[in-house]
Amino acid sequence: MLYNYIKSLHLIFVVTWFAGLFYIPRLFIYHIEAWQKPSPDKEILSEQLKLMTKRLWYIITWPSAILCTLFAIWLLILMPGWLQQPWMHVKLAFVVVLFVYHLKCHQIFKQMQNDDIRYTSNFMRMWNEVATIILFAVVFLVILKTTFDWIYGIIGMFALVALLMLGIKMYKRYREKNPDS
C-alpha cells in the first residue's frame, strides 16, 4: 500500500516539475522579446517577467525536482530489482540529461535575472522542446519497459524532433507574417 502512495507522489511531482520546465523557457522568450521594446515598456515588462520567473523557479520547479527525486529514490529502495532492469538504466540516463537541462535553465534564469540576455527567442523556442523529448522518452520507457523496441524508439525520437523543428519553423513564419499575434 505504501508503494502506491509513494508512486503517486512521485508522479505528481514529475508533472509539476515538467510544468515548470515547460513554462520557464516561455518566460525566457517573453523576457527576450520585452528587451526589444522601447522604454518604459521594456523595463516594466522585464521586472514583471523577472518576478514571475523567480516565483515559478523557486516555488514550483526546484521543489518539484527535489521531491520527485526523493520519491524516486524511495521507490527504488522499495523495489531494488528495478535497478537490474535495462530499461531503468536508460530511464535514469534520461533523468541525468533532464537534470543537466534543469541546471542549464537555472543558469539562463540567473542571467535573465541580471538582464544578461544571451539567447534569441528562436533559440529558446527550440530549447523549450528538449524537455518534451525527454518526457516522451521516459514515459515510453516506463510504460513499455522490456518490450521497448529500440529501433522503433530511435526512429520515433527522430520523427518527434523533426516534427517539433517543423512546428517551430512554421510558427516563426506565421509570426513574421502576423507580427501582432
The residue extents of the domains of the chain are 2-177
Q: What's the pLDDT at 146?
A: 62
Average pLDDT, the chain: 91
Tell me: the pLDDT tens digits for 64-80? 999 999 999 999 999 99
User: Does the pLDDT of residue 42 top 90, yes or no?
Assistant: yes
If you write DSSP's letter for every residue of 14-44 in order, what string do you get?
A: HHHHHHHHHHHHHHHHHHHHHTTSPTTHHHH
pLDDT > 70 in the chain, percent: 95
User: Does the pLDDT of residue 168 top 90, yes or no?
Assistant: no
User: Does the pLDDT of residue 181 top 80, yes or no?
Assistant: no
Query: Was 10 annotated as part of a binding site?
Result: yes
How many whole angstroms separate alpha carbon 81 and alpha carbon 68? Answer: 20
What cell does 94 get?
534520461
Average pLDDT over residues 43-55: 97
Tell me: the pLDDT tens digits for 83-96? 999 889 989 999 99
Burial of 36 (0-12, 13-18, 19+ CB in 10 A): exposed
User: Does the pLDDT of residue 148 top 60, yes or no?
Assistant: no
Give φ, ψ of 155 to 5 degrees: -60, -45
Q: What's the pLDDT at 46?
A: 95
In sequence order, what are the residues at sequence separation of 6 or more whose Cβ sits closer than 8 angstroms to the Cβ of residue 45? 30, 31, 34, 37
pLDDT > 90 in the chain, percent: 68
Tell me: the pLDDT tens digits for 93-146? 999 999 999 999 999 999 999 999 999 998 999 899 899 989 988 888 888 776
In terms of phi and psi (left: phi > 0; alpha: psi -120 to 50; beta: otherwise), the region of 76 is alpha
Q: Write down how long the chain is.
A: 181
User: Does the pLDDT of residue 8 top 90, yes or no?
Assistant: yes
